[in-house]
Structure 1
Amino acid sequence: METATKQETLKDRFISAFIKFSKIVTSTMGPYGRNVLIRKSNGMHHSTKDGVTVANDLSSEDEIEQMACDMIKEVANLTAEQVGDGTTTSICLASSLLESIQRLDEDSYNVHELREEIINESEIVIKNLINNSHKEINEFAIKSVAGIASNGNKEIVTILSDIFSQTNGDATVNVKKWIGDKIKYEVIDGYKMNSGYAHPAMITDKLKNEVYYQDSVLFSTNLLIGSAHNLKSILDAASTFHSSIESLVIVCDVIEDSAIGFAVDLIQKTNLKITIIKAPEMGVHRKNIIEDVALLSGAKKIAMIENGSTLSNLTKDHFGKCKSFLATKNTSVFSIEQRTEDVENKIRQLEIDKENSANDILRQQISNRINSLKGKIANIFVGKPSEVETKELKDRMDDAVASVKSLYVHGYTIGCGFSFFNAITHSADSNGRIILNNALMSVTQQIFENRGFYGIELAFRDGAKSSYRDLKDTEKIHSEKSLLSHGIIDSTEVLVRAIRNAVSVVGTILVTKHIIKGYVEDDLFKQR
C-alpha cells in the first residue's frame, strides 16, 4: 500500500477530476443536451445522450482520476436505481458543490461543520420542494414525465399512460425482453410480497439478479419444511399432479438449511427450476400472507398447521398456478389470470370485518390486506429486431417506469431546475447555504448552456411562485403556469433523490483527509 505524502494535492486532483469528468455527463442534460461518442473496448462506437450510460463508460488510466470516475458512476447508478431519472441532475449538483468547496480557504471552515450545514440546508430545500409540489397525478403529468425519461419515445409514453391511468399508480410493473419486433403489455391481477428468493442459486437472470418464470406451479404452506425428505414430498406431489411442471414456487413459514441445500443441488443437477420464499412479517400477519398467496393461485386447499395438514398427504387441490413470477433478493411478484370467486368472497368478508372493527390499527391492517388481494400487475414485453435495439429500448422503458412511479410519492413540480428557485432559502447566509444555493442554480444554468446561451434569471417572486426572464430575449418572461402547461415538469421524488445522493457523496469527499493508492508488485508474482 502507498499513502500519499501530499494528501491535499491528491485530494485536489481527485476533486478536479470529478469536476472534469462530470462536465462530460452534464453536457447531455436537458432537451437540448448533446450526444457523447463512446468507444467500446471491442472497438465499436456508440453515440448516446443517456447520462447513466455516459457515466458508466467514464474511465482514465490515472488512478486518482479513475477513483473520481468510479464515484460519479456510484452517484449516477444509485439515482437511476431509485427513481430511473435525475442522474445528470445529481452529478451536476455534486460537481457544483465541489467547485464551490474547492474555492474556499480550507483554514476558514471546519469540514464536519460545513458538511452538517450542507446536509441541514438540503433538507430544508427538500421540504420546500415537497410543499410546493402538485399532488394530483393526471394523464398529462404521466405523459410528460414518461416522455422526458424515455427521451420522447411516443410508444412508451402511450403504454405507460394507459397502465398508470388504469391502476392509479398502484400496479407493480415488470419489464422483460421477448423475441419480437414490438412492445406488448398486459394488466392483470397479482400479488406483491416483500420477501425474495432464499438462495442465489435460484436466480435465472444473472445480469439483473432476478428469478423469472412463466406458468409456474405454486405451493404455499405454514408447515415446517425441516428436511430434504419434506421438500421431496412436495416435489413428488407437484410432479404427480402436474406432469409437465417446469418451475415450482414454494412460499413457506419456516424451512431448514438442509432443505434449501437439497433444492440447490436439484437446481444445479437437473433442469427443474425451484424458488423458495420465506413469507415476510410475523405471527398472524405471516399466516395471512401464506393463505392469501395460496388463495390467489387457485389452490382449493391450503396446507396449514391449523387444519391438520401434513406434507405426506398433499393432493392436487393444495397446488395453484401463477401466470408469471418475478423475484429479487427482497421482493416477489405473482401474476395470475384473474381473481377467482373464492378470492372475491374473501375480499367481501374482509370488508365486512373492517366495517365491524372499532380498532383503528386493525382496520388499517385489514385495509392493507384487501389492497394486496386486489393488486394489479403490469407485464411489459419489449422486443426489437436486434439485441442492441431491444436492450436500448428496455433501458428507456425501465427508466420511464421508475420515473412515473416516483410521481406517486410526492407529486410533481416545475422542471428544468426552475423549482429550485422557489425552494432555496434566503435567510442569514452561511457557507453551507451559499454553496448549496449555487449548486441548485447550476442545474438550470447547465440546461440553458446546453441549449446554446446562458440561462435565465429570476424576474420576480410572489410567495412560492416565481417568474423567470430569458437572458437570450430579456423581454420574454416565463410564468410558472406557462412552463407547466408545456409539460416542463419533474417528479419531485426524482429531485429529492438527486439532492440527497449528491449531498451524500460530496459529504464523503469533504471529510476525506487521506487518499491511499494500492498497487501490485509484479516481482512478487514472478517469484511465486
Structure 2
Amino acid sequence: MSKQIKYDADARKKIKSGIDQVANVVKGTLGPKGRNVILDKGFGTPTITNDGVSIAREIELEDKFENVGASLIKEVANKTNDTAGDGTTTSTVIAQALINEGLKYVETGINPVGIRRGMEDAKNDVINILKKNSKKLTSREEIAQVATISAENEEMGKMIAGVMEEVGKDGVITVEESQTFGISKEIVKGMNFSKGFISAYMITNAENQTAEVKEAPILVTDKKISSISEILPILEKLTKSGTKELVIIAEDLSGEALATLVVNKLRGVLNVLAIKAPEFGESKKDMLEDIAVLTGAQVISEEKGMKLETVELSDLGEAQKVISSKDDTTIIGGKGKKNKIDERVAQIKKLVEKSESSFDKTKLSKRMAKLAGGVAVIKVGAVTETEQTYLKHKMDDAL
C-alpha cells in the first residue's frame, strides 16, 4: 500500500485540524453546564454521555492526516482515564491549548525544543501548586460530595461513599448493568473466584445447592489428584488429630481419589470439599499463592520440591468458612498471618503501578482487593437501555 507524505506547515495544519475537531466536540461537555453528546455506533441504541474519553474514542476522521491528529488527542484522553479515571475532558482541553499555542511560536521560527522545555518547566510548577492546594478526602461525607458532583446524582454519590467505606482503600468496585430498576450493591467479603466444587455429592445445603465447611483445614496444590494414595497420608494425620473436615483446592481431583472421598463423606467418616483451582497458566500459580497467603497454607507444588505424600498438618491453611457452588467459591476469614498478607498486597500494588495494560491492571487490582478488603459490585438498572448506559457511565466516572 502506497504512503502519502506531508511536510512542515502542511503536515502541522492537518494534524492541528484533527486535534481541533476532536477537542471541540469533547470540550462542549466540560463543567457543570456541559452538554451531553449522542453517539450513534451503527448498532443498538444510541449512547448519551458527557464523558470525554468515551466521546473521543468514537471519532474517526475521513482525512488520514487529520486522523493522525485525532489519534494523538485521543491518546491524551485514554492515558488520563487509565491513570486517574476522570478528568479526560479537562486534559483534552489543556492539550489542545498547549498544541495550538505551541504551533503559533513554531510558525514564527522559534525552536520547538525550546518551547517544549518551557512547557516542561511550567508543568512542574503547576503540579507543585496543585499539590499544595489539594485536599485529601478523609470522611465518608467528603467522598459522597465529590462523587455526587461527578455523577450529578446524590443517590449515586452516597452509594459510592458507603461502598468505599465497606471494601476499604485497596478494595475494588465494579459497575454492572442490572435487570431490575434502580441502583443496588453487592459486597463480597473475603476471596471469591470463579471455580466451584468438583462433585455435587459435596453439597451440604440442598436448598442453595452449595457446599459449606467451617473452620476446616485447607490443602492447596497445583497438582491433578487421581490416586487416593497421594493424599492418604494427610487424611490419616487429620483423622488422628480428630479433624473430620478438609478443603482441597487442586488442579483437578478425579478417579479413585474422588470416588473414595465421596464414599467417606456419605458414610460420615470425613467431609472433604474439593474445589478446582481458579484461572489458567501463570495466573493460576499467582491465584494459588494468593489463596495460600490468605489462609496460611503452603502451595504443594513439585516445582518447589514438595509432594502430596509428605504433606504435614503445618502445610495446611484455615479459614472461618468456605462456601462453594458449582460455579464459584468464597473463602471468608482466612487465617493467614497479617504481615504476610500485607506483604503480598504491597507486592501486587507494585505490579499494578508498573503495568501499562489496563486489562492487567484491572486483574491485579481485583487480586489485591480479594486479599486486602473485598470486592463490591454496584448494579445499575433503568427503564430504557439508553438511560441505563448513561447512568452506568456516570457511575464509572464518579468512581
| Structure 1 residue 63, shift from structure 2 partner | 1.6
Specify every segment of 5 or more residues in structure 2 that has no aligned partner in the other structure, as ranges. 199-217, 231-249, 263-271, 348-367
| Structure 1 residue 314, shift from structure 2 partner | 12
- What code does the residue aligned with 1:234 have? E
| Corresponding residue for residue 213 of structure 1 | 194
| Corresponding residue for residue 32 of structure 2 | 31
| Corresponding residue for residue 15 of structure 2 | 14
- What code does the residue aligned with 1:49 have? N
Specify every segment of 5 or more residues in structure 1 that has no aligned partner in the other structure, as ranges. 193-211, 252-259, 261-274, 281-285, 325-333, 352-363, 402-528
CA separation of 1:310 and 1:397: change in aligned 2, threshold 3 A = same
Is residue 2:285 matched to residue 1:278?
yes
**More displaced stretch, 302-311 vs 51-60:** 302-311
| Corresponding residue for residue 358 of structure 2 | none
The whole-number CA distance in structure 2 between the counterparts of 1:246 and 1:395 is 36
The whole-number CA distance in structure 2 between the counterparts of 1:223 and 1:161 is 42
* Residue from 376, 380, 405 that aligns with 2:377: 380
The whole-number CA distance in structure 2 between the counterparts of 1:49 and 1:78 is 18
- What code does the residue aligned with 1:339 have? G
| Corresponding residue for residue 396 of structure 2 | 398
Is residue 2:64 matched to residue 1:67?
no
Deviations 1:19-48 (Å, cap 9, x if unpaired)?
233111101101101223444434965443
| Structure 1 residue 312, shift from structure 2 partner | 11
Deviations 1:374-416 (Å, cap 9, x if unpaired)?
7211321414255544443333222222xxxxxxxxxxxxxxx
Deviations 1:167-221 (Å, cap 9, x if unpaired)?
55232223334443333324443369xxxxxxxxxxxxxxxxxxx7375789744
The whole-number CA distance in structure 1 between the counterparts of 2:29 and 2:196 is 42
| Corresponding residue for residue 338 of structure 1 | 332
Q: Report if the CA contact (8 A) 1:183-1:382 is conserved.
A: yes
Is residue 2:146 matched to residue 1:145?
yes
| Corresponding residue for residue 433 of structure 1 | none
Taking structure 1 as the reference length, what is the TM-score of the superposition?
0.49
Deviations 1:104-150 (Å, cap 9, x if unpaired)?
14454322232233123212221221122223422232112212332
Partner of 1:59, secondary structure, is coil
- What code does the residue aligned with 2:194 have? Y
Which of structures 1 and 2 has the larger relative contact order (alpha carbons within 8 angstroms, sep 6+)?
1
Partner of 1:100, secondary structure, is helix
**Identity across the alignment (%):** 22
| Corresponding residue for residue 110 of structure 1 | 111
Q: Report if the CA contact (8 A) 2:251-2:276 is conserved.
A: no
Is residue 2:102 matched to residue 1:121?
no
| Structure 1 residue 53, shift from structure 2 partner | 2.5
| Corresponding residue for residue 97 of structure 1 | 98
Q: Report if the CA contact (8 A) 1:189-1:335 is conserved.
A: no
Deviations 1:241-288 (Å, cap 9, x if unpaired)?
69999964169xxxxxxxx5xxxxxxxxxxxxxx943339xxxxx97x
* Aligned 1:318-467 pairs, distance under 5 A: 336=330, 338-340=332-334, 342-343=335-336, 346-347=337-338, 365=343, 375-384=372-381, 386-401=384-399
**More displaced stretch, 236-245 vs 391-400:** 236-245
Q: How many residues align?
A: 315
| Structure 1 residue 54, shift from structure 2 partner | 2.0
The whole-number CA distance in structure 2 between the counterparts of 1:32 and 1:377 is 36
Deviations 1:358-387 (Å, cap 9, x if unpaired)?
xxxxxx859969x98972113214142555
The whole-number CA distance in structure 2 between the counterparts of 1:32 and 1:323 is 49
CA separation of 1:236 and 1:109: change in aligned 2, threshold 3 A = same
The whole-number CA distance in structure 1 between the counterparts of 2:59 and 2:13 is 19
Is residue 2:248 matched to residue 1:234?
no
| Corresponding residue for residue 158 of structure 1 | 158
Q: Report if the CA contact (8 A) 1:237-1:314 is conserved.
A: no
Q: Report if the CA contact (8 A) 2:56-2:77 is conserved.
A: yes
Q: Report if the CA contact (8 A) 1:79-1:85 is conserved.
A: yes
Q: Report if the CA contact (8 A) 1:190-1:377 is conserved.
A: yes
Q: Report if the CA contact (8 A) 1:84-1:399 is conserved.
A: yes
Partner of 2:13, secondary structure, is helix
| Corresponding residue for residue 180 of structure 2 | 180
Partner of 2:190, secondary structure, is strand
- What code does the residue aligned with 1:249 have? P
The whole-number CA distance in structure 2 between the counterparts of 1:44 and 1:365 is 47
What root-mean-square deviation, in Å, do the aligned CA atoms of Structure 1 and Structure 2 show?
4.6
The whole-number CA distance in structure 1 between the counterparts of 2:125 and 2:166 is 35
